[in-house]
Amino acid sequence: MPTNFNTLPNRNIYQPMINTSTVSNPVKKETAQQPQTEKGISKKALVGIGASLAAAATVGILLAKGNFRQAKQLAEHIDFKEAKTMDEAVQFAKENLGVKLQIGDNLDVANFLNEIFVDVNNKMKGKAVLPKKVKMQATNATDGLEGFASWNTKRVLKLGSDFEAIVNIGKEKRLTLKECIEYYKEFSKDKDPNFITRAIYHELGHANHKNFMKMRRLPELKADGNKDTHLTEEFLQDVKDNKVVHDFFDKNTSTRLDDGTIYSLSSPAEFVADTFSFKMLGKSIPEEVEKIYQKFGGPVIG
Ligand SMILES: [Zn+2]
């Protein structure tokens, strides 16, 4: 029997995630109650997806010490082909991208990721650093922030519990991940409607940002005993009174730290990753943002 969407106790699906999250609720989002959609899927449920995201930042994490080497020489241009089976998707990732997908039996997630990896590869003309492995696993930055997704220097892309929750909501409601993303765009009222897709590009922004380990948030650097904080400090000074930069991220992103800091402006690493994600999605970037992106070694695209 297919699940009847309308009778699902939506609140119970989302509430535990929100309550048990260790994230210090860095995102402020509206969660207005709304009536049923014509398709019989509760808008409130979809706003719930937004609310769950509200508990997560796209934290770039960076636990293990490692290196930056790319294992596989990638083709300058790869044609994305949607897989019809999980095996096919796993094989596509392995053979074309050098990526090991360890995400269970989630065909539409596999296709979603492969398409993004291909896009990044093609826009970077075969020079992109892609994950060695993708896993579904909750994950925390060294300063304790839990991530929606994360990247580490062993080139592992982790999809955190909120990402997994969205996948599970989709399964229960018989929606593909792409459909969930579309509903999120339409109903979440998030000023960052591409948040879910952008989160993956964001992590690949870390992946392709040389020396990003030295450009993390001050508490992250402190947490693993990194004494050289000059790049992050210089960045914080650069963006401090820059209205154009502030307004751009204030308008287009919704992730905030507890103290209200715009997450993108919390460190050069997060700034570069977010700017990279916007560029990948074809958004035009103010010159002032571009200048700082280049100054801190943002990956060259195209
Ligand atoms: Zn990040």
What pLDDT, in 10s, does the model give residues 159-175? 988 888 888 888 898 99
| Mean pLDDT of the 144-164 span | 87
Kindly give the distance from the C-alpha atom of residue 263 to the centroid of ligand 1, in angstroms, as a whole number.
Answer: 9
3-state secondary structure of 148: coil
The count of other CB atoms within 10 Å of the CB of residue 77 is 10
What value does the mean pLDDT of the chain take?
80
CA distance 163 to 139: 11
CA distance 55 to 23: 6
Kindly give the distance from the C-alpha atom of residue 26 to the centroid of ligand 1, in angstroms, as a whole number.
Answer: 13
Kindly give the distance from the C-alpha atom of residue 14 to the centroid of ligand 1, in angstroms, as a whole number.
Answer: 24
Identity of residue 186: E
Q: Are 156 and 75 in contact (CB under 8 A)?
A: no
Q: Which residue has the higher pLDDT, 123 or 60?
A: 123
- How deeply is 149 buried, as exposed, middle or buried, from its count of CB atoms within 10 A (0-12, 13-18, 19+)? buried
Ligand 1 (single-atom ion) residues, CB below 5 Å = 60, 270, 273
Kindly give the distance from the C-alpha atom of residue 59 to the centroid of ligand 1, in angstroms, as a whole number.
Answer: 4
- Under the banding of pLDDT at 50, 70 and 90, the label for residue 145 is confident
Kindly give the distance from the C-alpha atom of residue 61 to the centroid of ligand 1, in angstroms, as a whole number.
Answer: 7
Kindly give the distance from the C-alpha atom of residue 204 to the centroid of ligand 1, in angstroms, as a whole number.
Answer: 9
| Mean pLDDT of the 63-85 span | 73
- Under the banding of pLDDT at 50, 70 and 90, the label for residue 258 is confident
- Under the banding of pLDDT at 50, 70 and 90, the label for residue 72 is low
Rg, C-alpha atoms of the chain? 19
pLDDT at 39 over 60: no
**Which residues, at least 6 apart from 193, have a Cβ–Cβ distance to it below 8 Å?**
184, 185
Kindly give the distance from the C-alpha atom of residue 40 to the centroid of ligand 1, in angstroms, as a whole number.
Answer: 35
Tens of pLDDT, residues 278-300: 999 999 999 999 999 999 999 99
Kindly give the distance from the C-alpha atom of residue 274 to the centroid of ligand 1, in angstroms, as a whole number.
Answer: 7
Residues 293, 26, 252, 151, CA torsion sign: positive
Roughly what angle, to the nearest 10 degrees, separates helices 287-295 and 230-240?
170
Q: Are 80 and 42 in contact (CB under 8 A)?
A: no
Identity of residue 245: V
pLDDT at 2 over 60: no
